Amino acid sequence: MLSLPTPPSLLHAEPACGHASRAVRNAAVRALLGELVTYPKPGLVSLCDSGSHRDMDAASFVRSSLALRRYFEQAAAAGAQGASFATLNRLGRAAEARMLRATGGVNTHRGAIFNLGLLAAAAGARTPREHAPLGERVRQLWGTDIAAHRRDGSSHGSRVTATHSAGGAQAEAAAGFPSVYRLALPAYRDALARNGAANAARVQAFFTLMAELADTNLLHRGGAAGLAFAQSAARQFLDAGGVHRSGWQLHAVRVHRQLVERWLSPGGSADLLAACLFVAAVETAR
């Protein structure tokens, strides 16, 4: 990637877009916290336990979420100023450094920094008369550069993508977040409309993602067999009625325990759940 200078205003100064950028920031942080409090969420950190993770807990996720507030505001302001993907990428790198400082070196939100940063920038770039979905704006504005970007080959996601031919977060973003718009959002909105329970709607969206997504986190920890197990467990939950079935919590907790026993963590689905919550909030607010 070309080393282009980042305007100092984007890295250090207060974002110029004021209220709009702060609204985007608040929606992004709420999305991260909404993902955190969702339970049962198989294999993942929640307020109830740390799932398949020994190096992080709910407190570390809260610290990380709060440390990223300024980043989301900067991303929205950058989008409003017509920033390139290279500029957004550098903002994301700086945000990763803040995350690691806040968590003592633990990667709690790298995927969310990528996904929500792009969506926040797309939200900042939208004009008052524009009604295109945020994912589509990401694809239009930066999709080509996202697809062409060469990631750090030492990351788990990069290695898994190469080994298993899985698209991963980069392909998802370049395509405009199809898993969010075709899977998570419809499931979330339908569940919310049917019973009005926010946690149940988030769980339904999460299981819908887990059932279909080629989650690189699952591939990293469990290989193709681990991914297949998690997807099958999620499909069985959904086929049984999902959150619309009486006693669904017990079934979801059972899946959670099965994934923890196998050290499986569908972190990609968690990242896209946060993206779903952000999109639902921002696009509904217009």
With 90 as the cut, is the pLDDT of residue 280 above it? Answer: yes
pLDDT in tens, 161-218: 444 445 799 999 999 999 999 999 999 999 999 989 999 999 999 999 999 999 999 9
The CA distance from 249 to 259, in Å, is 15
Burial of 58-76, coded b for 16+ CB within 10 Å and e otherwise, reads bebbbbbbebbbbbbbbbb
With 80 as the cut, is the pLDDT of residue 83 above it? Answer: yes
Query: In percent, how much of the chain has pLDDT > 90?
Result: 84
Give yes or no for a cis peptide into 15 (omega within 30° of 0): no
Other C-beta atoms closer than 10 Å to the C-beta of 2 total 5
pLDDT band at 80 (very low <50, low <70, confident <90, very high): very high
In this prediction, residues 8-19 reach a mean pLDDT of 45
Amino acid 286: pLDDT: 62
The CA distance from 194 to 142, in Å, is 36
Alpha-carbon separation of residue 119 from 60, 129, 205 (angstroms):
23, 18, 18
pLDDT band at 10 (very low <50, low <70, confident <90, very high): very low
- The model carries a pTM of 0.90
- Cα 99 → chain centroid: 15
With 90 as the cut, is the pLDDT of residue 2 above it? Answer: no
Specify whether the CB–CB gap between 149 and 186 falls below 8 A.
no
Amino acid 8: pLDDT: 37
Higher pLDDT, 3 or 132: 132
pLDDT in tens, 124-165: 999 888 889 999 999 999 999 999 998 765 555 455 544 444
Q: Tokens in use for 166?
A: 């899985």
Specify whether the CB–CB gap between 234 and 166 falls below 8 A.
no
Amino acid 164: pLDDT: 41
With 80 as the cut, is the pLDDT of residue 17 above it? Answer: no
With 90 as the cut, is the pLDDT of residue 249 above it? Answer: yes
In this prediction, residues 237-249 reach a mean pLDDT of 98
Amino acid 129: pLDDT: 84
With 50 as the cut, is the pLDDT of residue 229 above it? Answer: yes
Amino acid 155: pLDDT: 52
With 60 as the cut, is the pLDDT of residue 221 above it? Answer: yes
Amino acid 130: pLDDT: 85
Amino acid 131: pLDDT: 86
Mean pLDDT score across all residues of the chain: 91
